[in-house]
Amino acid sequence: MIAARRLSLVPDGVHSSAPKRKAGALRVAIATQDMKSLDAHFGSAKRFVVYDVSPDDWKLVEVLDFEDVSDQSGKHRNEDVDRINPKVKALEGCHLLFCLAIGGPSAARVVSAKIHPIKVSDPQLIEDVLSRTRAMLRTTPPPWLRKVLTEAGAIEKKPFDEED
């Protein structure tokens, strides 16, 4: 089993498994190798940066660091090690997961953990991903995002007759 290290900002010195989410914010995880860009596939990501994103701002919550990862082609160094479950467990509490690619079995486990995976075709700056997410929250979010926001308790569910 691969180990995850949690690097969190803890203002009061008390640490739980995952810091509390700001009310009305979405918890967003971004797969990264360099801590600057969304530049990794789910299986090969050495790190996931986790932010709380609201319509007004975003805040770094924690960084999840993994030692034993697949290479970008999906090949594993050691076939006997489960790389998916520790990552999914570490990402619990996140609502969105941005990555360059994610395989079917990994995506199924992520979705069953109530995390919405979003594949991005090309590497891009983390700041750009966060800005676009914040802009979607400020405007009329697409239906899939409204569902995520409702499940996260960030917005109230509208009655059927009020939906667009």
pLDDT, tens only, 42-100:
999 999 999 999 999 999 999 999 876 665 555 555 555 677 899 999 999 999 999 99
Q: What is the pTM of this model?
A: 0.79
Structurally, how many domains does the chain consist of? 1
Question: If you write DSSP's letter for every residue of 84-98 in order, what string do you get?
Answer: HHHHHHHTTT-SEEE
What average pLDDT does the chain have? 82
High-pLDDT (> 90) share of the chain, %: 53
Its domain, for residue 58, covers 4-8+23-149
Q: Is residue 94 part of a domain?
A: yes
Q: Is residue 59 part of a domain?
A: yes
Q: Is residue 164 part of a domain?
A: no
- What is the separation, in whole angstroms, between the first and last Cα of the chain? 46
Q: Judge whether 66 and 4 are in contact, CB under 8 Å.
A: yes
**Rounded CA separation 144/128 (Å):** 20
- For the chain, give the number of residues: 164
Q: What is the CATH number of the domain that holds 79?
A: 3.30.420.130
Instruction: Give 27's Cβ-side CA count (13 Å radius).
Output: 22
